[in-house]
């Protein structure tokens, strides 16, 4: 959510880690959030093997001079 009266650029970083803590998937999406706007961001991913994965996501302003925009959000996914 952008509580400002101006457009704000962002980069969302999404990661999936297996039960040993190894990153199995890493993706980013670049976008612009409109003034006072809200955006849903998502990706589609299918792991190579079944298991339990920790999913992590957070937002930064850009890659050049990054400012952290959100805390890391985590969740768990079980793939059969």
Q: Is 67 helix (H, G, I), strand (E, B) or coil?
A: coil
pTM score of the predicted model: 0.81
Better-predicted residue by pLDDT, 60 or 2: 60
Query: What are the pLDDT digits (tens) for 34-49?
Result: 887 777 787 888 898 8
Paired residues of 8 in beta bridges: 33
Q: What is the pLDDT of residues 59-73, one digit of tens each?
A: 999 999 999 999 999
Buried b (16+ CB within 10 A) or exposed e, 35-61: eeeeeeeeeeeeeeeeeebbebbbbbe
Closest listed residue to residue 14, CA positions, set 80, 77, 64:
77
Average pLDDT, the chain: 90
């Amino acid at each position: 959510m952008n509580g400002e009266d101006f457009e704000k650029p962002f980069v969302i970083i999404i990661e999936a880690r297996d039960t040993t803590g190894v990153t199995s998937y890493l993706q980013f999406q670049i976008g612009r959030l409109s003034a006072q706007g809200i955006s849903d961001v998502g990706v589609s991913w299918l792991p190579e093997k079944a298991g339990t994965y920790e999913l992590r996501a957070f937002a930064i302003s850009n890659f050049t001079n990054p400012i952290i925009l959100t805390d890391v959000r985590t969740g768990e996914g079980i793939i059969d």
